[in-house]
Amino acid sequence: MRLRAAAATLLIPLLSACAGTIVSETFTTVGDEHGAGHSSAMVHPSVPPGAGGSIELVSDFVGGGDGISVGEALDVASSHPVLVDGIVLRDEDGTIWYCDRLVDDSPPRCSDPQLLVLNFPTDPDLFDPAMAETVGATMRDGITWFEGHQLYGIVHPPP
């Protein structure tokens, strides 16, 4: 009887190994790091080609806490919101970008990686030159930015 039990114990793993490939719903291929496949993240349709990705805000108010960098946010892009630390920049045409650092060109611009910000609040005082000091904005060459800002949203990978 013990011999049969021992044979069955050895046979089950062998049969399982021959049964076929086990497909992971978490990773795209064996050995992928978490987030590397962006399996649950969808490209947002309004992200222009050449953009590093986007962040779709889910809340105007964020209470603070430990956020992650823009690059880390792209690495873990999914359908779940994350808190991201960075710089909010409004360019000359009114597009809102989010990045870790600025390139000190004239005019200033976001370094790579950068995220297009979707659903940014439409408060006209935020970008009013007369309110810059009050709201903590920096303005130069038609560009407005806020350093040390956190956004909470769903990060979408690049197109």
Indicate whether 84 belongs to any domain.
yes
According to the model, what pLDDT value does residue 33 have? 37
Indicate whether 87 belongs to any domain.
yes
According to the model, what pLDDT value does residue 124 have? 81
Share of the chain above pLDDT 70, in %: 68
Average pLDDT along the chain: 76
Sign of CA dihedral 30, 35, 39, 45: negative
For 19, phi and psi rounded to 5 degrees?
A: -70, -20
Indicate whether 7 belongs to any domain.
no
pTM: 0.69
Sign of CA dihedral 13, 16, 17, 21: negative
CB-CB contact of 109 with 91 (8 Å)? yes
Task: List the domain range (segments joined by +) for residue 93.
Answer: 33-156
Alpha-helix residue ranges (DSSP H) falling in the chain:
2-18, 70-75, 132-135
Confidence of residue 83 (pLDDT cuts 50, 70, 90): very high
CB-CB contact of 82 with 73 (8 Å)? yes
How many domains are there within the chain?
Answer: 1
pLDDT at residue 71 greater than cutoff 60: yes
Indicate whether 100 belongs to any domain.
yes
**Could you report how far apart the first and last alpha carbons of the chain are, in Å?**
62
- pLDDT (tens digit, 9 = 90+) per residue, 19-55? 443 443 433 333 333 334 444 456 666 677 777 899 9
Indicate whether 6 belongs to any domain.
no
The stretch 111-115 carries a mean pLDDT of: 93
